[in-house]
Amino acid sequence: MIVFDEFWIMLTGALVAISCSLLGCFLVLRKVVMVGDAISHAVLPGIVIAYFFSQSLDSLPMLIGAAAFGMIATVIIEMLSKKNKMQEDAAIGVTFTFLFALGVILITSFADKVDLDQECVLYGEIAYVPLDTLTLFGGVELGPVQVWILGFNLLLVLAFVILGYTPLKMSSFDPIFCTSVGISTSFWHYALMSGVSMTTVFSFEAVGAILVVAFLVGPPSIAYLISKDLKKMLWLAALFGVLSSVFGYLLAVLLNASIAGSMVVMIGIFFIIVLSIQLIRKQLKDKRNQTEISQMNFES
């Protein structure tokens, strides 16, 4: 049973990692990775307001409330940075700190007597994922509920990336050309942000906002160090996300530490390793080029 529990925890982390990494690649290419960070915090008041009206912790009202505030955060950032000429990082900082603080106040004022608190939102409860299982009428257990929810979310993300691959790629690399051929960059921008909001909400209960942000930024950044080809980048980002989940869990068991925190640490370790290898390769390449130039000058 313990072995199965470990498997479900690692699988949960891997499902979140793949979903976030795929969407994060487009955030990295558009140089708006901190918008993902902003959305992951800004959805908090939406979750609380959804609970306030529905008096339920069901996923559907939470998803609607969080998605709405994710879009509100995106619109506010766009208005501040493009309409009012505010620096984008300043617009992101102002928006997400305001909305996150608003969410914290709403929780402490209206939802402090239910299992909806700041620590749950920030750090998640991935260690408890195997305890809440999906059971059929005949008593047949189909595994943790969160695994099914996150698996469904991953299918939606895969469908979005596959069906929207070309316009997402074009609007990420060359938005002017994309507009000139009749593709709406605004539509795909907000569609991407909606996907980030949805994935954030689906992942909240299991892994928390901190790990969602780490998976949105870390694995895509590692993949971008290795390849500028988008398809390779998507595969590499998903691979490093899964490896960070598995080795992060093993590190947490070894150190008896936080699982989410250990997964984030593994993302940082992988990033340092890949960055070091790339720097060494660049130095070797520069040294080889200098040697070839010196030989050519000597022969001439």
Over residues 162-195, the pLDDT tens digits come to 999 999 998 888 888 888 888 888 888 888 888 8
In this prediction, residue 195 carries a pLDDT of: 86
Q: How confident is the model at residue 224 (pLDDT cuts 50, 70, 90)?
A: very high
* pLDDT band per the 50, 70, 90 thresholds, residue 108: confident
Is the pTM higher than 0.85?
no
At 300 the pLDDT is: 65
In whole numbers, what is the pLDDT of the chain averaged over residues?
A: 83
In this predicted structure, the answer to whether residue 48 has a pLDDT above a threshold of 60 is yes
For 199-224, what is the mean pLDDT? 85
Interhelix angle 2-29/185-226, nearest 10 degrees: 110
Residue 91 has pLDDT above 90, yes or no: no
Asked if pLDDT for residue 161 goes beyond 70, the answer is yes
Model pLDDT, residue 115 = 55
Summarize pLDDT for 121-143 with one digit per residue, the tens: 666 677 777 777 777 777 777 78
What's the pLDDT band for 26 if we cut at 50, 70, 90?
Answer: very high
Check pLDDT > 60 for residue 113: no
CA angle 209-210-213, nearest 5°? 85
Unique residue bearing structure tokens 């900082």 = 93
CATH architecture observed for domain 1-219: Orthogonal Bundle (1.10)
Confidence of residue 218 (pLDDT cuts 50, 70, 90): very high
Out of 35-39, 130-134, 233-237, 260-264, give the one with best mean pLDDT: 233-237
CA-to-CA distance for 198 and 255, rounded, in angstroms? 33
> What is the model's pLDDT at position 18?
95
Q: What is the pLDDT of residue 75?
A: 82
Provide the percentage of residues in the chain whose pLDDT is more than 90: 28
Rg (CA), the chain: 21
Q: Poorest-confidence range of 68-72, 145-149, 263-267?
A: 68-72
* Lookup: tokens for 190: 């907000």
The pLDDT assigned to 221 comes to: 94
| Cβ within 8 Å of residue 190, ≥6 positions away | 71, 74
Contacts 24+ apart (CB under 8 A), 153-157: 153/15, 153/19, 153/198, 153/199, 153/202, 153/203, 154/15, 154/18, 154/19, 156/195, 156/198, 157/18, 157/19, 157/22, 157/23, 157/195, 157/199
Q: Which of 5-9, 131-135, 211-215, 241-245 has the lowest mean pLDDT?
A: 131-135
Q: What percent of the chain has pLDDT over 70?
A: 91
